[in-house]
């Protein structure tokens, strides 16, 4: 009976559907994750423990590498315990982005490895230096960017194959790894993610049912890397031009998740409210906080136009959720987005920094929604054809696993 070991610092993350599929094949499964990980159902679940904190490096450039190596050592310790219990995997599938896979070849030298290649940090043509409003490009900064790749690069040398979700993300990996890359997204469960009808939600005591213009924006956390500052700057013009519109922002009010926090402290929401808040009718601007997935789909199903923005970085899952829900996509013309959204075909692209153009595009949608209705069906069809989990992504993953196992 084949055995698979899953490992991920954000466990179980993207491996739930693979765990289920391999369980259906009768495979034995184990899972190593951090202390706060969620169990993979039916798998042997182990948690690594830290012997010290992960931010104690004495050399500034080595802080990230040290943290990654601490996680790598802790994960390897759990792998040794797993081996001592008699569980030796035939294949290891994991995300090396936080160091957790760096030493696994020493524990399981014969096991094949499939690693996630989410992003390889670059000092140019990715998120660093993209937004000159906040970027401070200097030589020491470029050194820190390269240093962040140290343990990631070490891990990738052990990979038999590297799975990247999108072509843009694959393009960030060095040439030496390109021959090992397969581009496979985790995909969307389109039986769950689809446009709902005949319902409404109450926000600020107001019933919002989609009969009037509704515009949506989703961030894991509100931050410039995902265009929050640009979207907020578009709102005064949009609300003035479309006086019956409501705007729903889904996400967490945190200082940061991927990018840097405000230099003056606080959160990016507080910064942007200080900048534009007095120009907004807050009875029409609704911050919902983080929502359960089912509630997120309800919000997206009400949307007349969904705004998605990102620096050249990892593509958000919410983009595909919105497309699956037949939203008219209004998205930043940046590398990750262009992998999915094709201007005029299944959505609309605009210059990331042009908040007035964004407001005017949303206004045009509000004034003549039928003119953009073809984009709704095309958006969902793109997801069905290219990103449906059951019919496209899972079969591609299973073919890859079988190929690696047979090699």
Q: Are residues 174 and 226 in the same domain?
A: no
Report d(CA 108, CA 104) in Å as an integer: 6
Whether 192 is in a domain gets the answer no
113: which residues sit within 8 A by CB, 6+ positions away? 91, 92, 93, 94, 101, 104, 105, 158, 159, 160, 161
Mean pLDDT, to the nearest integer, of 78-106?
Answer: 97
Whether 195 is in a domain gets the answer no
Q: Are residues 91 and 125 in the same domain?
A: yes
Whether 19 is in a domain gets the answer yes
Q: Are residues 261 and 145 in the same domain?
A: no
Q: Are residues 91 and 145 in the same domain?
A: yes
Beta pairing partners, 218: 250
Q: Are residues 172 and 241 in the same domain?
A: no
Whether 107 is in a domain gets the answer yes
Q: Are residues 58 and 177 in the same domain?
A: yes
Mean pLDDT, to the nearest integer, of 144-167?
Answer: 96
Instruction: For residue 311, name the pLDDT band (cuts at 50, 70, 90).
Output: very high
Taking the CA atoms of the chain, what radius of gyration do you get in angstroms? Answer: 22
Q: pLDDT tens for residues 342-397?
A: 999 999 999 999 999 999 999 999 999 999 999 999 999 999 999 999 999 999 99
What Cα–Cα distance (Å) separates residue 139 from each residue in 136, 144, 185? 10, 9, 34
Whether residue 298 contacts residue 321, with contact meaning beta carbons closer than 8 Å, is answered with: no
Q: pLDDT tens for residues 314-324?
A: 999 999 999 99
In total, how many domains does the chain have?
2
36: which residues sit within 8 A by CB, 6+ positions away? none
Q: Are residues 300 and 395 in the same domain?
A: no
Report d(CA 344, CA 378) in Å as an integer: 10
Domain that residue 355 falls in: 201-386
Whether 194 is in a domain gets the answer no
Q: Are residues 161 and 13 in the same domain?
A: yes
344: which residues sit within 8 A by CB, 6+ positions away? none
Q: Are residues 116 and 218 in the same domain?
A: no
Average pLDDT for the chain = 94
Report d(CA 382, CA 117) in Å as an integer: 23
Q: pLDDT tens for residues 203-224?
A: 988 999 999 999 999 999 999 9
Q: Are residues 8 and 152 in the same domain?
A: yes
Give CA angle at 61 (60, 66), nearest 5°.
90
The structure tokens 């929604």 sit at 369
Q: Are residues 322 and 239 in the same domain?
A: yes
Q: Is the pLDDT of residue 257 over 80?
A: no
Q: Is the pLDDT of residue 181 over 80?
A: yes
Q: Is the pLDDT of residue 140 over 90?
A: no
Whether 212 is in a domain gets the answer yes
CATH number for 33: 3.40.50.2000
Query: DSSP class of residue 108?
Result: -
- Entry pTM: 0.93
16's enclosing H/E stretch is helix 16-24
Q: Are residues 302 and 341 in the same domain?
A: yes
Whether 196 is in a domain gets the answer no
pLDDT at residue number 55: 61
Whether residue 188 contacts residue 388, with contact meaning beta carbons closer than 8 Å, is answered with: yes
Exposure letters 246-257 (e unless 16+ CB within 10 A, then b): bbbbbbebbbee
Report d(CA 28, CA 13) in Å as an integer: 19
Closest by CA position to 315, among listed 164, 116, 173: 164
pLDDT at residue number 141: 84
φ/ψ region of 47 (left if φ > 0, alpha if ψ in -120 to 50, else beta) reads beta
The DSSP code sequence of 291-330 is --HHHHHHHHHH-SEEEE---SSPPPHHHHHHHHTT--EE
Whether 99 is in a domain gets the answer yes
Q: pLDDT tens for residues 323-340?
A: 999 999 999 999 999 999
């Amino acid at each position: 009976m084949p055995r698979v070991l899953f490992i991920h610092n954000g466990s179980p993350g993207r491996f739930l559907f693979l765990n289920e599929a391999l369980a259906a094949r009768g495979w034995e499964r184990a899972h190593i994750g951090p202390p706060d990980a969620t169990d993979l159902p039916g798998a042997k679940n182990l948690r690594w423990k830290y012997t010290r904190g992960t931010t104690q490096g004495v050399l500034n450039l080595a802080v990230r590498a040290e943290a990654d190596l601490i996680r790598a050592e802790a994960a390897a310790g759990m792998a040794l315990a797993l081996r001592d219990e008699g569980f030796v995997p035939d294949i290891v599938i994991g995300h090396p982005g936080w160091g957790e896979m760096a030493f696994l070849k020493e524990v399981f030298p014969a096991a094949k490895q499939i690693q996630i290649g989410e992003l390889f940090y670059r000092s140019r043509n990715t998120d660093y230096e993209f937004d000159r409003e906040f970027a401070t490009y200097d030589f020491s900064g470029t050194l820190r960017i390269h240093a962040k790749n140290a343990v990631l690069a070490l891990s990738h040398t052990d990979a038999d194959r590297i799975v990247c979700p999108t072509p843009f993300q694959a393009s960030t990996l060095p040439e030496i790894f390109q021959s090992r890359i397969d581009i496979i997204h985790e995909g969307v469960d389109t039986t769950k993610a689809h446009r709902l009808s005949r319902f409404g939600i109450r926000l600020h005591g107001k019933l919002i049912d989609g009969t009037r213009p509704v515009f949506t924006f989703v961030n894991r956390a509100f931050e410039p890397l995902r265009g929050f500052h640009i979207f907020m700057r578009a709102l005064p013009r949009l609300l003035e031009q479309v006086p019956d519109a409501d705007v729903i922002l889904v996400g967490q009010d945190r200082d940061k998740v991927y990018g840097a926090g405000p230099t003056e402290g606080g959160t990016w929401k507080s910064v942007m409210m200080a900048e534009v808040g007095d120009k907004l009718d807050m009875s029409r601007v609704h911050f919902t906080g983080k929502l359960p997935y089912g509630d997120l789909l309800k919000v997206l199903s009400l949307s007349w136009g969904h705004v998605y923005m990102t620096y050249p970085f990892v593509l958000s899952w919410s983009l595909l959720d919105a497309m699956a829900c037949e939203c008219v996509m209004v998205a930043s013309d940046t590398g990750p987005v262009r992998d999915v959204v094709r201007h005029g075909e299944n959505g609309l692209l605009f210059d990331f920094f042009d908040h007035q153009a964004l407001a005017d595009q949303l206004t045009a949608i509000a004034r003549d929604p039928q003119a953009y209705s073809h984009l709704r069906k095309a958006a969902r069809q793109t997801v069905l054809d290219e990103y449906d989990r059951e019919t496209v992504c899972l079969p591609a993953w299973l073919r890859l696993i079988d190929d690696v196992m047979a090699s």
